[in-house]
């Protein structure tokens, strides 16, 4: 599973992307966030306020309940501010 | 089919506008929105980050939705990324139609949805070296939500 | 203070747009409406007549009203007169503001009011030599009336 | 009093403008229309359907009840169709 970080999430985690292999019990976006937050202090800091975090699975916006699977591309980022 | 560009480079407003009606006589209205970097509070630059791949896909869906809602003869969205200075353009939305209401409404719809549904993030840089990520505005969600239900 | 031009000549969209933000960093949004002559039903030309003197005065009042309703940093209205061919521009409305909603709404307001409150008349010429005066549309009065009361 | 005609009113009357001196009982736009319509068959034809005629007095739109005076510029035209 490829995980991407954007904007201040990228800065807090300290990397733009990583390949991860979460265990089978990580089934959705919310579960992935909990699992990633336990990987390092930097991850924990980035995910400290989940209300400020948005996600996309395979380049579509996804809710916390959205399933994630081994070959997915999952991205985390703050609410968008383009335009 | 919308013309969608995500690029660091500036764009040519006159050429983009002209291309929506060039060689045709069924276009009666072209509406446009040009977003420009303001220099409020000592801002020296905006740095725009995006999600390559998803960005084009998200804008494409927003443009599809506009073309589903209004009888457009053409639609162009150009969003710049990278470092942008005060006074420089950030985003251009162009909509063309036989009649003015469709062009004007679709243009307002596109910029409202772009603000809330396309994966761009702005970082502000200030004189003195400080910087901060722009926070999403509740008023943008409100503006985007007025297009839901109505249509 | 709005820039208002009533002229036979074409206009330069890029230069007019650029002049609304040139040398300033408080303009975040420029909205525009470009009205173009369509070639429906074999139309070969539009001939636009107006009431010199009253036209500029009427457009000036409409622009004043827009500037009273929205915090604009600039406003340009250029309306062509004389003979205009299919595909050629007829009218340009440009509005600039710090924020997008003001620019977009003022632009829509200006073109709606121009259609119903400025003394222009269009005559259509068709292949074969026939011609007719365009009749005012009830839908234009309706579009203009939506700006009354709300604001 | 200067009277101007635009669009098909100009074509029907056959002139773009004329200077007129209506009698004192012509006090408003509606009265002026009635008086002008009696000047010629062309005038009568132009003003045949008053619902299609709009007026301006001194370059402001005016209702049928709007007063007219000797030094006014009064214009007649169909509903506007610009933009």
Residues B77-89 have pLDDT tens digits of 999 999 999 999 9
Average pLDDT of B22-27? 96
| Residue C21 maps to a domain | yes
Partner D contacted by C107 (CB < 8 A): no
What is the DSSP-derived secondary structure letter of residue A52? G
- Residue A49 CB partners (closer than 8 Å, separation 6+): none
Average pLDDT of B25-34? 98
Give the per-residue pLDDT at C150: 45
CA A45 – CA A36 distance, rounded (Å): 11
Burial zone of B23 (CB within 10 Å; 0-12 exposed, 13-18 middle, 19+ buried): exposed
Give the per-residue pLDDT at B151: 39
Nearest CA in chain C to D56: C54
Domain holding C134, by residue range, is 3-145
Q: What is the DSSP string of C1-63?
A: --EEEEESS---HHHHHHHTTTT-S---EEEEEEEE---GGGEEEEEEEE-TTHHHHHHHHHH
* Alpha-helical regions (H) of chain D: 7-13, 29-37, 41-46
CA C62 – CA C4 distance, rounded (Å): 11
Domain covering A2-77 in this structure, CATH number: 3.10.20.30
SS3 of residue B112 by DSSP: helix
Residue C149's pLDDT band, with cuts at 50, 70 and 90, is: low
Nearest CA in chain D to C56: D59
Quick one: tokens of C22?
A: 């040139």
The number of folded domains in chain B is 1
Mean pLDDT across chain B, nearest whole number? 96
For the segment C19-62, what is each residue's pLDDT rounded down to a tens digit?
Answer: 999 999 999 999 999 999 999 999 999 999 999 999 999 999 99
Mean pLDDT across chain D, nearest whole number? 97
Residue A63's pLDDT band, with cuts at 50, 70 and 90, is: very high
Q: Roughly how many angstroms between the first and final C-alpha of chain C, as a whole number?
A: 20
For the segment D26-57, what is each residue's pLDDT rounded down to a tens digit?
Answer: 999 999 999 999 999 999 999 999 999 999 99
For the segment C57-85, what is each residue's pLDDT rounded down to a tens digit?
Answer: 999 999 999 999 999 999 999 999 999 99
Residue C43 maps to which CATH number? 3.90.1170.40
Residue C148's pLDDT band, with cuts at 50, 70 and 90, is: confident
Interface chains of chain D (3 or more CB pairs under 8 Å): C
For residue B35, pLDDT beyond 70: yes
For residue C113, pLDDT beyond 70: yes
- Could you tell me the residue ranges of all domains in chain D? 2-77
For residue B150, pLDDT beyond 70: no
> Token match 């801002």: residue?
B43
Interface chains of chain A (3 or more CB pairs under 8 Å): B
Quick one: tokens of A11?
A: 């800065």
Detail the DSSP E strand segments found in chain A. 2-5, 17-19, 54-57, 60-62, 73-77
State the DSSP H helix or E strand holding residue B117, giving kind and residue range, or none if neither: helix B100-117
Give the per-residue pLDDT at C1: 81
Burial zone of C96 (CB within 10 Å; 0-12 exposed, 13-18 middle, 19+ buried): buried
CB atoms within 10 A of CB C114: 25
| Residue C151 maps to a domain | no
Could you tell me the pTM of the whole model? 0.95
Q: Look up the ipTM and state it.
A: 0.94
Chain B residues in contact with C111 (beta carbon < 8 A):
100, 104
Average pLDDT of A53-64? 97
Q: A82 vs B57: CB contact, 8 Å cut-off? A: no
Q: A83 vs B49: CB contact, 8 Å cut-off? A: no
- Beta-bridge partners for B94: B32, B76
CB atoms within 10 A of CB C149: 6
Mean pLDDT across chain C, nearest whole number? 96
Residue C138's pLDDT band, with cuts at 50, 70 and 90, is: confident
| Residue C150 maps to a domain | no
State the DSSP H helix or E strand holding residue B106, giving kind and residue range, or none if neither: helix B100-117
Give the per-residue pLDDT at B64: 98
For the segment A22-54, what is each residue's pLDDT rounded down to a tens digit?
Answer: 999 999 999 999 999 999 999 999 999 999 999
């Amino acid at each position: 599973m490829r995980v991407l970080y954007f904007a201040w999430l990228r800065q807090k985690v300290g990397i733009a992307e990583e390949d991860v292999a979460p265990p089978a019990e990580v089934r959705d976006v919310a579960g992935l966030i909990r699992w990633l937050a336990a990987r390092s202090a930097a991850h924990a800091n980035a995910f400290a306020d989940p209300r400020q975090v948005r996600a996309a699975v395979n380049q579509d916006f996804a809710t916390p309940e959205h399933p994630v699977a081994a070959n997915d591309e999952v991205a985390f980022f703050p609410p968008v501010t383009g335009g | 089919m919308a013309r969608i560009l995500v690029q660091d480079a500036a764009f040519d407003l006159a050429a983009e506008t002209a291309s929506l009606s060039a060689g045709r006589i069924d276009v009666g209205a072209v509406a446009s929105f040009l977003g420009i970097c303001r220099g409020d509070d000592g801002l020296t630059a905006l740095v725009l980050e995006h999600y390559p791949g998803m960005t084009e896909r998200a804008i494409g869906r927003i443009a599809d939705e506009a073309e589903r809602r209004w009888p457009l003869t053409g639609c162009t969205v150009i969003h710049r990324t990278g470092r942008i200075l005060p006074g420089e353009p950030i985003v251009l939305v162009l909509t063309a139609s036989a009649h003015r209401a469709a062009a004007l409404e679709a243009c307002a719809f596109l910029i409202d949805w772009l603000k809330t549904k396309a994966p761009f993030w702005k970082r502000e840089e200030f004189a003195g070296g400080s910087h901060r990520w722009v926070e999403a505005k509740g008023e943008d969600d409100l503006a985007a939500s007025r297009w839901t239900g109505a249509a």
